[in-house]
Chains A and B, each alone.
Chain A
């Protein structure tokens, strides 16, 4: 326990203030400490009104999502040692701000409700038997802890008002589509209602995923391709067209 480090934390209550600002706090350094430890120190010892959100402190619940030095990250998993001298912590920019580092992520539940749930094939005898190899593909997507960092980084969500469900929900749909006993194919739905065509595969979402889910390669591209492969009806053509246009625009 020797030196102190300084953390610049974004403070803003949109209800009572006109604009936010970064406030610098000096926090004692502890070996191996994470950014979460620094803001908790501020809250518990300097200013109890600092609003932060966390729960498990172990990278398992996805509560502590913020932007650390500009990168969407989990506070509990980001070690201070990896950040150099300057540390800034700001709230996720894609979601409405509640106060300080806490954002309102409730709009995600509306998207979640739209995606058709797991629907087991009919007439299967219980208990179900599943080949161990077949659970692997879906398992990757089931690692999602709903931190919403991928939604935060996605430029379609950040900059455009589109019906795009966002990467988290393509992952969710893929987890069911790749469930070995699921009867549905959600690819068409994702491309029509879900606005998947707006995604132009920048892979930023994959880069920030703390669970290392290959969101673009394994979920998004699969759902896009399956949609194209499966249907050659006018609706599919229409979507293809829109996607091309989107690409040209970018």
Chain B
């Protein structure tokens, strides 16, 4: 066993190199301090790279009536009135500046005929608002920030798996990581930490998310005493691929509908006219996902259990220019030419609205030197996220979390690492090596199946209880999982550690979903189909003193009177 340690010191340790982590690292660098950024995947490969449709910013380049107040209203309404209004305000106000900053860094957005940044329509955005680069917006964002990281010589270590944070006398003083390349262990001594580990879509069987999205940051934060919020709010994207089986869940961008694509059932009916006569295919994601789910459940689905999405009538030139990646994706992965044929699609798990509870302005968690940004956080999107708001989120709040962590680091010093803490983490890892350990991937598969079957688009008490039961069984079995081989590039070892984190977020999700006896946004209960005004609040989850999971509810903060004018009043039927 490789028990060697390397100790690295920084002012701010950034865990994650997606858009949020990289933007935070740039902020710390701007402040003249020393960031270290670590990530589980290679530099430039973070989940953000997959984002397609665009970044929401009220630039008003296409629809001049758009401005931050309209964007603000859209966030609050579609988040079904449990969003943190302050986060919504900051996002709506600052997203345009973050887009222009990307452009200054070298990103090249699609243009309007008169040379301004082109913006496309997206579900439930009042105006055409998504700045984009074809359907590869995430790639451009990642590569543009990667250039900054490289040319500013910001220290990064990729393919580092952070196992846990290290405490000394109740204060977080660093983090413990494993370098996959050589199996070496690292201690990151630091003054402040920004958690930017992204989402946890991979706890579900069918998902658009990448390998790394196992919610590690949620597990790491939870064990350190950080509060999580809105964990029941899981976004199903209406359109994932369904066929062939090996690509099931892979995203079909909302851009297809944004550019005019329509949804049809097996009877060739444009069913969205029935579910949402006004917004049709471009209603909020939860509405469209539920409509598709209902069509399939009622027997009007396609051969492979989806519905049709058609854009072929727009013609090859239009499609190849506006949706080049989608054109390639279907051609290469499904042998389908979307300029001629319809696509088959069904909902796929896409995004976690829930996560670390943070202060709006600073990204600070309930622990003074732990900050967080990006998909790992909660608050902004409330009960439902609008497409394009996540890329805006990671830049706006990545910057803010980086700024505040740097500010914190300026007035604090490096603390000593407690060796006992380190040893106990080392022991935990070493214990995972055993000759006849249970295969972590087999347990993971049971967990993912359980989540997809019982905590899906439409939930009810019975299924949720069953999910909790299965999660508890798996928790009991967890001590038996193990792997073979050495520390070096061992996915079996990672599988064990990831599973531990996945169990935490799944338990929080299922239990919160059972507690919320109403239907709101992405959370739909068939046994409580109505929205309930007593539930205009969030469920907060944290680790109690006796290691038990504590659930509490927290009222949604009221926005100031003048902001109410930007939002339609909430209606209860």
B439 within 8 A of A: yes
Q: How far is the CA of A179 from the CA of B490 in the complex (A)?
A: 42
**Cα-based distance from A50 to B246 in the complex (angstroms):** 20
A83 at the interface (CB under 8 A from B): no
Are the C-beta atoms of B140 and A49 separated by less than 8 Å? no
A33/B153 in contact, CB under 8 A: no
Minimum distance in angstroms from B254 CB to a CB of chain A = 16
Bound CA span A15–B246, Å: 34
Instruction: Report yes or no: B45 in contact with A49, Cβ–Cβ below 8 A.
Output: no
B25 to chain A, nearest CB (A): 15
Q: Is B112 close to A, CB under 8 A?
A: yes
How big is chain B's contact interface, by range? 35 or more
**For residue B491, which residue of chain A has the nearest CB?**
A43
Query: A85 on the interface (CB 8 Å rule)?
Result: no
B474 CB contacts on chain A under 8 angstroms: none
- Interface class of chain A by DSSP: loop
Q: How far is the CA of A52 from the CA of B180 in the complex (A)?
A: 11
1/0 per residue, CB under 8 A from B, across A176-199: the answer is 100100000000000000000000
CB distance from A45 to the nearest CB of B (A): 7
Contact of B211 among A48, A55, A132 (CB under 8 A): A55
Q: How far is the CA of A63 from the CA of B485 in the complex (A)?
A: 23
Q: Does B329 contact A (CB under 8 A)?
A: yes
Check B246 against A30 for contact (C-beta < 8 Å): yes
Interface residues of A in 119-161 (CB under 8 A from B): 120, 126-132, 135, 138-139, 142-146
| A55 x B47 contact (CB < 8 A) | yes
Indicate which residue in A13, A49, A129, A176 contacts B483 across the interface (CB closer than 8 Å): A49
Whether B110 lies near A132 (C-beta < 8 A) is yes
CB atoms of A142 and B117 under 8 A apart? no
A135 vs chain B, min Cβ distance (A): 5
Find out whether the CB atom of B115 lies under 8 angstroms from the CB atom of A32: no
B247 within 8 A of A: yes
Q: Of the listed stretches A2-10, A101-109, A225-233, A241-249, name the one at the interface; the rest are far from the partner chain.
A: A101-109
**Docked complex: B40-97 residues within 8 A CB-CB of A:** 41-45, 47, 49-50, 59
A15-B488, A48-B492 known; A118+B181 contact, CB < 8 A: no
B115 close to A57 (CB less than 8 A): no
Q: Cβ of A50: which chain B residues have Cβ within 8 Å of it?
A: 491
Q: How far is the CA of A120 from the CA of B107 in the complex (A)?
A: 11
Question: What A residues does B147 contact at CB under 8 A?
Answer: 112, 117-118
CB pair B116–A127 under 8 Å, yes or no, is yes
At the interface, yes or no: B484 with Cβ under 8 Å from chain A?
A: yes
Q: How long is the Cα–Cα vector from A58 to B113 in the complex, in angstroms?
A: 32
Cβ 8 A contact of A30, one of B117, B245, B329, B486:
B245
B110: chain A residues at CB < 8 Å are 132, 135
A142 touches B441 (CB 8 A): no
Size category of the A interface is 35 or more
With A33-B246, A48-B441, A99-B489 as contacts: A55 and B45 at CB distance below 8 Å: yes
Query: Is A31 part of the binding interface, using a Cβ–Cβ cutoff of 8 Å?
Result: yes
CB-based nearest B residue for A134: B111
> Are A128 and B49 closer than 8 Å at their CB atoms?
no
B425 contacts the other chain (Cβ, under 8 Å)?
no
Cα separation A117 to B100 with both chains bound (whole Å): 17
Query: Do the beta carbons of B116 and A129 come within 8 Å of each other?
Result: yes
**Contact of A34 with B by CB under 8 A:** yes
Specify which chain B residues have a CB less than 8 angstroms from the CB of A120 in the assembled complex.
Answer: 104
Q: Which residues of chain A come closer than 8 Å to B489, judged between CB atoms?
A: 51, 98-100, 102
Q: Which residue of A lies closest to B99 (CB)?
A: A127
| Known pairs A55-B211, A56-B49; A135 contacts B332 (CB<8 A) | no
Contacts of B118 in A (CB 8 A): 132
**A236 interface contact, C-beta 8 A:** no
Instruction: Decide if A167 is an interface residue (CB 8 Å cutoff).
Output: no
Contact B490 A51 (CB under 8 A): yes
For A109, give the chain B residue with the smallest CB separation: B150
CA distance A222 to B14 in the complex (A): 40
CB atoms of A48 and B115 under 8 A apart: no
In contact, A112 and B150 (Cβ under 8 angstroms): yes
Complex contacts, B366 vs chain A, CB 8 Å = none
A116 to chain B, nearest CB (A): 9
Q: Which of B59, B105, B136, B488 is the one whose CB lies under 8 Å from A118?
A: B105
B532 at the interface (CB under 8 A from A): no
Assess whether B210 is interfacial by the CB under 8 Å rule: yes
Task: Assess whether A37 is interfacial by the CB under 8 Å rule.
Answer: yes
Chain A residues near B332 (CB-CB < 8 A): 59, 77
Chain A residues contacting B246 (CB-CB under 8 Å) are: 30-34, 37
Query: Contact between B151 and A57 (Cβ–Cβ < 8 Å)?
Result: no
B402 interface residue per 8 A CB criterion? no
Interface check A250, CB cutoff 8 A: no
Q: How far is the CA of A34 from the CA of B333 in the complex (A)?
A: 9
A113-B111 contact, Cβ under 8 Å, with A33-B246, A37-B246, A61-B50: no
A95 at interface by CB-CB < 8 Å: no
Q: Report B386 CB to chain A, min CB distance, Å.
A: 22
Question: Is B143 on the interface with A (CB-CB < 8 A)?
Answer: yes
Minimum C-beta distance from B108 to chain A (A) = 5
Write the residues of chain B forming the contact surface with A, with a CB cutoff of 8 angstroms: 41-45, 47, 49-50, 59, 100, 103-106, 108-118, 133-134, 136, 138-140, 143, 147, 150-151, 153, 181-182, 210-212, 243-247, 250-251, 325, 328-329, 332-334, 439-441, 483-486, 488-492, 495
A-B pairs with beta carbons under 8 Å apart, 5 shown = A49-B492, A51-B488, A58-B329, A118-B105, A132-B110
* In the A-B complex, the 8 residue pairs with the closest CB atoms: A32-B244, A48-B492, A118-B106, A49-B485, A129-B115, A44-B441, A51-B489, A132-B111
Given contacts A13-B488, A58-B50, A62-B44, 13 further A-B contacts (CB under 8 A): A37-B246, A45-B439, A48-B485, A49-B484, A57-B211, A61-B41, A63-B41, A63-B42, A98-B488, A113-B151, A117-B106, A132-B118, A142-B133
